[in-house]
Amino acid sequence: MAAISASTVWIRVELFKGASMLVTERTPVGDVVAKHPRAAGVFEKYQIDYCCRGDQPLGVACHAAGLPPSEVIGEILRTSLESSQDRDWTTATLSELAVHIVSTHHAFLRNELPALEARLRKVILAHGERHGDTLDPLSRAFLALKQELDTHLEKEELALFPVIERFERAHVAQEKRPPTPFGSIRNPIGMMEHEHRSAGDLLSRMRQATLDYTVPPDGCATYRALFEGLVRLEADLHRHIHLENNILFPRAIGLEAAFD
């Protein structure tokens, strides 16, 4: 990463202010990605968790990762300025955001998880004996993640998202808060956030077991394809959980409060 002087960062921040949100060391990393979606790529690169730990201030996250915050802020703003075509989900309707999540991220998981499981089984057959120390813990964490996500997606699609959409329709029509089978919307949201933390923990275990997805020298093409697929799964899941934890859920809680 090229060095960026403090004054350059200041100028970039000032230039950016009119168009969007000021980014400082105190800005929670989840809020940074909510306003600047391309920041997700920067955080992925430095392994800064912006979804399950979206409330940590940018400065704290940078120091923990051994990075100078001003350089990371500069990189985020550069990337964001280059990509102003990215959709700002903080201003879309909640229904649009829910449809986007289901049609992209849920669809991705339904497509990728079975394919990755098949690839994993193939790799275990060929390399399980020699690389059991890596593949056994990887397999346990992956299968637990897949099982959890299968039911998680259903809960969101069948229970939570339809209620968020009903709330939004009622709010627009200036009607009363529609009844729900689970009381406050905070209840299912709390459960989904808990499941997101569990998914984040399993992803970390997978990364640890594989030494950051390092393919061994005797690893075959399928081994490499498995690890590349798991890295893509991790990145997509981080973006997916971010959209829910940091944008959809807080806005849905705000919508419910607006009925009072």
- The 10 Å Cβ neighbour count of residue 103 is 10
Output Rg (C-alpha) for the chain, integer angstroms.
Answer: 20
Phi, psi of 138 (to 5 degrees): -65, -45
Environment class of residue 225 by beta-carbon count within 10 Å: exposed (0-12), middle (13-18) or buried (19+)?
middle
| DSSP helix/strand/coil, 68 | coil
Residue 28 sits at φ, ψ, to 5 deg, of -60, 140
**Which of 145, 157, 129, 160 lies closest to 196, judged by CA?**
145
For residues 119 and 238, which CB has a smaller minimum distance to Fe ion in the complex?
Answer: 238
From the CB of 249, what's the least distance to Fe ion, in Å?
9
Q: How far is the CB of 152 from Fe ion (least distance, A)?
A: 6
* Least distance (Å) between residue 226 CB and Fe ion: 24
CB-nearer residue toward Fe ion: 88 or 157: 157
Q: How far is the CB of 242 from Fe ion (least distance, A)?
A: 10
Residue whose CB is less far from Fe ion, 49 or 156: 156
Residue 244 or 256 having the CB closest to Fe ion: 244
Q: How many residues bind Fe ion (CB under 5 A)?
A: 2
- Closest CB to Fe ion among residues 61, 109: 109
Nearest-approach distance from CB 156 to Fe ion, in angstroms: 5
- Please, which residue, 86 or 154, has the CB nearer to Fe ion? 154
Please give the Cα distance from 160 to 200 (Å, whole number): 20
Could you count the other beta carbons within 10 Å of the beta carbon of residue 142? 23
Binding to Fe ion by residue 112, rule CB under 5 A? no
Binding mask 138-167 for Fe ion (x = CB under 5 A): ------------------x-----------
> Residue 51: is it exposed, middle or buried by C-beta count within 10 angstroms (0-12/13-18/19+)?
buried
Q: Which two tokens stand for residue 133?
A: 């120390």
CB of 252 to Fe ion, least distance (A): 12
* Shorter beta-carbon distance to Fe ion: residue 119 or 146: 146
In 3D space, the residue among 111, 106, 103 whose CA is nearest the CA of residue 229 turns out to be 111
Binding mask 189-228 for Fe ion (x = CB under 5 A): ----------------------------------------
Q: Nearest approach, Cβ of 192 to Fe ion (angstroms)?
A: 5
Q: What angle do CA 167, 150, 242 make, to 5 degrees?
A: 55
Among 49, 112, 244, 256, the residue binding Fe ion under the rule CB under 5 A is 244
3-state class (DSSP) for residue 196: helix
Binding range to Fe ion, per CB under 5 A, among 163-171, 202-210, 213-221, 239-247: 239-247
Q: Which residues contribute to the site for Fe ion (CB under 5 A)? A: 156, 244
